[in-house]
Amino acid sequence: MEILLHKEQLQLMIQRLAHELTEQYVNLDELVFIGIQPRGIKVGDAICAAIRKLHPTQKLQYGVLDITFYRDDVREELHLGAKTDLPFSIEGKKVILIDDVLYTGRTIRAALDALQDFGRPQQVALCVLVDRRFNRELPIQPDYCGKAIDTLVSQKVKVEWEREAVVLY
């Protein structure tokens, strides 16, 4: 086990991502932030809380997306879906998908498929805390990334919110 990011580093990374995500937009009305179930929700919550502190007078649209039934790599087990909560339209909006770790790209592919059921966004961007660069199965890259790392397929990267750290197992 190796700690990649400690509490202070994780908090700084979330602040930096909040700044990066909003620096090119005068008005947040054209943006929609969506945390991907299950692990992207904690990241999305943290980033959106930081954005709200930066822009307290602007309305921030944040929702969560369940991709359980859009995955192509889970077939034989019975899975229960989580809750999708998108209390706004994504039609013509700029959507920022938020997840914790980008690994094979299959979660993001499933999220893109799921989004189509809710409308046609103008643009979709991807924000992740950790990008495991050399393990991709699909041609998906993050637009906003906290930390890019090189890992072996046998290793796991977990964002552990209870200890506020990113850990490599």
- pLDDT, one tens digit per residue, over 126-163 is 999 999 998 899 999 999 999 999 999 999 999 999 99
The whole-angstrom separation of Cα 61 and Cα 38 is: 19
Domain 2-21+28-71+82-168 has CATH 3.90.650.10: no
The whole-angstrom separation of Cα 145 and Cα 156 is: 18
If you average pLDDT over residues 80-85, what whole number do you get? 74
The whole-angstrom separation of Cα 103 and Cα 117 is: 24
If you average pLDDT over residues 28-52, what whole number do you get? 95
> What is the value of pTM for the model shown?
0.92
pLDDT of residue 76: 57
